[in-house]
Amino acid sequence: MPDLAATQTTILCRDERFRIYLDQETLHRRVQEIGDQISRDYEGQRPILIGVLNGAFMFLADLMRSISIECEVDFLKLSSYGAQKISSGVVHELKKIDAELQGRHVIVVEDIIDTGLSMKYILDRLLEYQPASVRTATLLHKADATRVPVPLDYVGFSIENLFVIGYGLDYGQLGRNLPAVYILDEEAA
């Protein structure tokens, strides 16, 4: 897979050219900072991280490894029709949360908050489980695209309204395995 080489500053994904935006070192440094912050904030507690599939899997894996206190993990997957899946009001949970969340300290982990509709849906849904507390962690936040207010407790990077892939984020399901975050190279179009 030569087009997905880790060290390249530009790559091809589905015949589109992307250029590097957040390199591995930058990502790992920031993820470690968030892990350290969570370890301090939840000292003496045992938070449970809820990863939102598919995109969050890589951030979640690195984030968990950077947390030094006891913590647990579970996953949630929503039906995927882009932002429409939420705004249409028809949301299917393709994978429900299995863990018992009543009385637990929950951290919802996303790869990206775009319109905010997914996170709002998840937070509303979580209230039904009566957790002790809920916070959010997202690697990326597109502030200009966010349409609904959602609490942003741990944000890796606030980014412009750009199309991004890599480090879990996809373009038509490809590109998730890129170890860095890339943006569409408009100049190459």
Looking at 24-32, 98-106, 115-123, 178-186, which segment touches ligand PRP (CB under 6 A)? 115-123
Residues 6+ apart with CB under 8 A from 159: 21, 140, 141, 142
Residue choice 8, 54, 183, 185 for contact with ligand PRP (CB under 6 A): 54
Paired with 31 in beta bridges are none
Paired with 106 in beta bridges are 48, 134
114 is catalytic: yes
Nearer to ligand PRP, 42 or 63 (CB): 63
Residue choice 55, 156, 166, 175 for contact with ligand PRP (CB under 6 A): 55
What's the CA gap between 151 and 24, in Å, rounded? 27
**Residue of 15, 23, 41, 114 marked active site:** 114
Nearer to ligand PRP, 39 or 87 (CB): 87
Nearer to ligand PRP, 42 or 178 (CB): 178
Residue choice 3, 99, 115, 152 for contact with ligand PRP (CB under 6 A): 115
Looking at 17-25, 60-68, 94-102, 113-121, which segment touches ligand PRP (CB under 6 A)? 113-121
- Give CA angle at 56 (69, 136), nearest 5°: 60
Going by their DSSP bridges, the two strands 133-142 and 105-113 should be labelled as: parallel
DSSP category for residue 143: G
Using CB under 6 A as the binding rule, whether residue 138 contacts ligand PRP is answered as no
Residues 6+ apart with CB under 8 A from 139: 27, 31, 56, 59, 110, 111, 112, 156, 157, 167, 168
Of 79-98, binders to ligand PRP (CB under 6 A) are 80, 83, 86
Residue choice 113, 134, 165, 178 for contact with ligand PRP (CB under 6 A): 113
By annotation, the residues acting in catalysis are: 114
